[in-house]
Amino acid sequence: MIPLRDTIDSKGYPIINTALIVSNVLVFLLQLGQGEALQQFIVTYGLVPARYSVPAISKHFSLGQQAFALLSFMFLHGGFWHLLGNMWTLYIFGDNVEDRLGPVRYLLFYLLCGVASGLTHLFLNWHSQLPTVGASGAIAGVMGAYFLLYPHAKILTFIPIFFIPYFIEIPAFFFLGIWFILQFLSAAGTPGHGGGIAWWAHIGGFVFGMVFLKLFLRAPETGIGRQIRQKTSRKKSNRLQLIKPKRVADDPRVYGNLVITPLEARLGTRKILNIPSGAKKRLLKVTVPPGSRDGGVLRLTGAGPELGDGTRQDIYLRITVAQRN
């Protein structure tokens, strides 16, 4: 299962989440430039439990290096696909958590989740000499927060079945719950670093993410955080939107709802629509013309449910013009 996006629109541009993604990419590029010194780079800035538990090893590192590694390890990655998977997951779930916490609290939350996940792995693999790298633990914390904040959100998920693309919406509590159970089963079934994946770091990050969320929601948002929110409010709606066609009263036609912003209504925009079962296509590209008004209707010919004679109904999209903030 590959998550594509969630159905919760963030009101503001996720400046911190984007900065975290960019930072991870830049550090990965720095890794690629290490050449033969890459292994030493990983040992120095990755999380190696034996550095803290074995005196003969810990004496080679200063107190500052030991402390910094608890942060730096979460910006390193074991390869391109490791980086891509982590950053895509952070992209999907992080914006909504940042939207709820605000940029300043979200940054502190993310870093604390990463440290907590690292400490969980460290204490449960106390004498391991294998370096642990990756943002997975911190991102697991973000997923734990999302689990509490938006349990009824839907995750648009791509499932390849015999090379046929299939798209399905999965409730967030189910998607994330299954993910957590799989992490736990994997951790219980493999010793230590089994398979090269720090399962307990994922579990620790997820659990501490839920705990830290409760604490951060009680902390007041800073003035700079509110200022950043105002300046980063979105001017456009999501490009990919879910449309749920339905009939209204005795009207035989099928209707859906498309949400755009005042700027998009004035200038026009293009959207990709995901239409659930009963539709002709799973994904449709739609152009909203300039000058569209709230309550206006767009007709999607042959995109609706199949009729008895083999033809398909049209879908009438009602346009809703809504402010992002």
Q: What is the 3-state secondary structure (H, E, C) of 106-120?
A: HHHHHHHHHHHHHHH
Q: Same domain, yes or no, for 196 and 301?
A: no
Residue 247: pLDDT band with limits 50, 70, 90? confident
Helix%, strand%, coil% for the chain, nearest 5: 50, 20, 30
Domain boundary among 200, 231, 262: 231
The residue among 206, 231, 256 that closes a domain is: 231
In whole angstroms, what is the distance from residue 155 CA to residue 239 CA?
A: 15
pLDDT at 236: 73
Same domain, 149 and 223: yes
227 and 295: one domain?
Answer: no
At 114 the pLDDT is 97
Q: Which residues pair with 38 in a beta bridge?
A: none
Other Cβ atoms closer than 10 A to 36 = 6
Does the pLDDT value for residue 195 go beyond 60? no
Rounded to an integer, what distance in angstroms lies between the CA atom of residue 1 and that of residue 191? 26
Q: What is the pLDDT of residue 277?
A: 55
Question: Do 89 and 146 fall into the same domain?
Answer: yes
Tokens 């050449």, located at residue:
35
Number of folded domains that form the chain: 2
Regarding whether 278 and 210 lie in a shared domain, the answer is no
The helices-and-strands tally (H runs, E runs) of the chain is 12, 10
Shared domain for 209 and 80, answered yes or no, is: yes
- Among residues 186, 209, 231, the one where a domain terminates is 231
Mean pLDDT across the chain: 87
Is a pLDDT exceeding 80 seen at residue 323? no
Same domain, 220 and 263: no
CB 160 within 8 A of CB 224: no
Q: Are residues 38 and 136 in the same domain?
A: yes
pLDDT, tens digit, 9 for 90 and up, residues 47-103? 999 999 999 999 999 999 999 999 999 999 999 999 999 999 999 999 999 999 999
Least confident span in 175-179, 180-184, 303-307: 303-307
Residue 324: pLDDT above 80?
Answer: no
Residue 282's domain comprises 240-321
CATH of the domain at 269: 2.60.260.20
| Three-class SS state of 192 | coil
Sequence letter at residue 274: N
- pLDDT tens string 113-167: 999 999 999 999 998 999 999 999 999 999 999 999 999 998 988 877 766 667 7
6 with 41, same domain? yes
200, 245: one domain? no
| 125 shares its domain with 190 | yes
Residue type, 56: A
The answer on 268 and 160 residing in a single domain is no
Dist. CA 228–CA 12, nearest whole Å: 9
Give the CA distances from residue 170 to residues 24, 129, 174, 175, 178, in Å, rounded to whole numbers and listed in that order. 28, 39, 7, 6, 11
Token output for 84:
């891509």
